[in-house]
Chains A and B, each alone.
Chain A
Amino acid sequence: GAGVSQSPSNKVTEKGKDVELRCDPISGHTALYWYRQRLGQGLEFLIYFQGNSAPDKSGLPSDRFSAERTGESVSTLTIQRTQQEDSAVYLCAATDNRANYGYTFGSGTRLTVV
């Protein structure tokens, strides 16, 4: 597609439930990133995928967080047993191999845990 698409745009869930967030990147953009943006704060790196290489999971805050990506297509970020501190906007970004050209971001998923 022409841009990075994320769904859902908004998600309200009860504490303890699992949620799955989806990112559909730009065709041909082999690198994909997930970031978290808490209210009033900057972007926190979560995970990075590059082609078929092993993902860089160094930013995942706990084992309740996981992400998958098949090849260079859609990625899903799963949060298990959600907690109120998980409430944030989750942003997906994609870039081609020329990473010095920066990222293209999706509009994000606003997650609210009640």
Chain B
Amino acid sequence: AQSVAQPEDQVNVAEGNPLTVKCTYSVSGNPYLFWYVQYPNRGLQFLLKYITGDNLVKGSYGFEAEFNKSQTSFHLKKPSALVSDSALYFCAVRSGSARQLTFGSGTQLTVLP
């Protein structure tokens, strides 16, 4: 079985400050990890992924995420938040043998001007 936990339903951060959206996972074997963003009335958009290699992954719009195997975490980060980053963020995991992604419950990020 595979599962994802996003412990924070809501994250608020001031514009220009660094942001972190937390994600932990559980999976058999090596994980494939993803972050998606959802703007209002839109489908999910791919941000970044970790498959193998460097633990620090860089993605779209200045976002990055760090894979930590010992802590089974894949937190999303950005050094300087923008108001336009306000959206719903989903972490997802897949094991090598699974055919579908399992998504977390989502974290609503609000960047305050």
Q: Do these two chains really belong together in a complex? A: yes
Please, could you name 21 A-B residue pairs with CB atoms under 8 Å apart, sorted by A? Answer: A6-B43, A42-B103, A42-B104, A42-B105, A43-B103, A45-B100, A45-B102, A48-B100, A50-B99, A56-B100, A91-B44, A93-B44, A99-B94, A99-B99, A100-B49, A102-B34, A102-B49, A105-B36, A106-B43, A107-B41, A107-B43
**Which are the 10 A-B pairs with shortest beta-carbon distances?**
A105-B43, A42-B105, A43-B103, A105-B44, A107-B43, A100-B51, A42-B103, A102-B46, A45-B100, A102-B34
Q: How many positions in chain A have a CB within 8 Å of any CB in the partner chain?
A: 25
**Residues on B close to A: CB < 8 A?**
32, 34, 36, 41-46, 49, 51, 90, 94, 99-106
B-contact bits for A1-24, CB 8 A (1 contact / 0 none): 000101000000000000000000
Given A43-B90, A107-B41, are A101 and B99 neighbors across the interface (CB < 8 Å)? no
Chain A neighbourhood of B102, CB < 8 A = 45
Using CB atoms, name the residue of chain B closest to A108. Answer: B43
Is A33's CB under 8 angstroms from B44's CB?
Answer: no
Cα(A48)–Cα(B34), bound, Å: 18
Between B36, B43, B51, B105, the greatest number of chain A beta carbons within 10 A of the residue's beta carbon is seen for B43
